[in-house]
Amino acid sequence: MTGRRRWSTEEILDAAAELLRTNDADSFSVRKLAAVLGTDSSSLYRHFRSKTELVRAVADRVLLGVMEGYRPEGDWQQRITALALRVREAFGEQPQLAAAWGRYASSGTGSRMVMEQLLQALRESGLPDEEIPAHYHRITVLLVALIASEAGVSTIGPVEYEQGMELFRVAVLGADPERFPAVAHFARDVKPQGADRRAAFEEILAAQLAHVERSARPWSAGPQDIPS
């Protein structure tokens, strides 16, 4: 009697990534993945101890793809911006997984490669080493939040999206000016969250990097430039 096929770790990750393309992280399960592969859950647990570990591994492969062919260019701000946009684009192609990444994060080789590049860039900003971890943490929290939030918008179907836009227009344009004077005043100019997200992503990141630059300035200035 022929036994069930033994799936490799890479094949399991391939199947999991494909399943996550069409299922959100909440509905994804090791049991469903095992059914797709025609095996039982216990065989998958030999490779991954839990659903969380499996999802983290799939997310880390996205980060490995981000780093493939990446060559840091420009100053430290340009390097961080370019890397952030590569991560955004990669998860934009797999929005369901982006939402999962925002929840579970990642701790594999791809994550460490991104971490290494961010930390190296921050060291070139002029910040003292003791301040770099805090700024790194703020940047990564910002990136994960923005990318995961954007993924949530992009997973909405066109009909549901248009319904949401109509509700937004009704709620904003029809706001009672006595109760919501500011909303009524800016109603025709305020954009919904799904609009111009790349521009918003770049501007928010630039503001954070400008904060890093301001923090680094006293340390990079010469003794004659530091006020007594």
Each domain of the chain, given as residue ranges in start order, spans 63-155+188-218
| 109-127 mean pLDDT | 94
5 pLDDT band (50/70/90 cuts)?
A: confident
Q: Is 80 exceeded by the pLDDT of residue 88? A: yes
Judged by average pLDDT, the poorest of 7-16, 85-94, 149-158, 192-201 is 149-158
2 pLDDT band (50/70/90 cuts)?
A: very low
Q: Is 70 exceeded by the pLDDT of residue 197? A: yes
Q: Is 70 exceeded by the pLDDT of residue 130? A: yes
- Name residue 146's amino acid: L
- Name residue 129's amino acid: D
Residue that wins the pLDDT comparison between 21 and 211 = 211
Judged by average pLDDT, the poorest of 57-71, 115-129, 131-145, 214-228 is 214-228
CB atoms near residue 17 (< 10 Å) = 18
Residue whose C-alpha is closest to residue 139's, from 199, 206, 228: 206
Q: Is 50 exceeded by the pLDDT of residue 224? A: no
Alpha carbon distance 52, 56 (integer Å): 6
Q: Is 90 exceeded by the pLDDT of residue 99? A: no
Alpha carbon distance 192, 94 (integer Å): 22
Q: Is 90 exceeded by the pLDDT of residue 211? A: yes
Cα 103 from chain centre: 10
Q: Is 70 exceeded by the pLDDT of residue 14? A: yes
Q: Is 70 exceeded by the pLDDT of residue 123? A: yes
Q: Which 3 state secondary structure label does DSSP give 202?
A: helix
> Which contiguous run of DSSP H or E holds residue 90?
helix 76-92
Rounded percentage of the chain residues whose pLDDT exceeds 90? 46
| Residue keyed to tokens 């918003």 | 200
pLDDT of residue 228: 42
Q: What is the pTM of this model?
A: 0.81
Residue whose C-alpha is closest to residue 51's, from 70, 75, 32: 32
Torsion angles phi and psi, residue 56, rounded to 5? -60, -40
| 120-131 mean pLDDT | 95
Chain mean pLDDT for the chain: 86
| Residue keyed to tokens 């096929």 | 5
pLDDT of residue 226: 45
Residue 147 in contact with residue 209, Cβ under 8 Å?
A: no
pLDDT of residue 190: 87
b/e sequence 97-118, b meaning 16+ C-beta within 10 Å:
bbbbbbebebeeebbebbeebb
Condensed to tens digits (0 to 9), the pLDDT of residues 157-174 reads 778 878 888 888 888 888
Burial (CB < 10 A; 0-12, 13-18, 19+), residue 7, is buried
pLDDT of residue 212: 95
227: its two tokens: 């006020």
Cα dihedral 55, 56, 58, 61, rounded to 10, equals 170
Residue 178 in contact with residue 57, Cβ under 8 Å?
A: no
Name the superfamily (CATH) of residues 63-155+188-218.
Tetracycline Repressor, domain 2 (1.10.357.10)
Alpha carbon of 202 to those of 71, 82, 85, 107, 156: distances in Å?
20, 10, 8, 25, 23
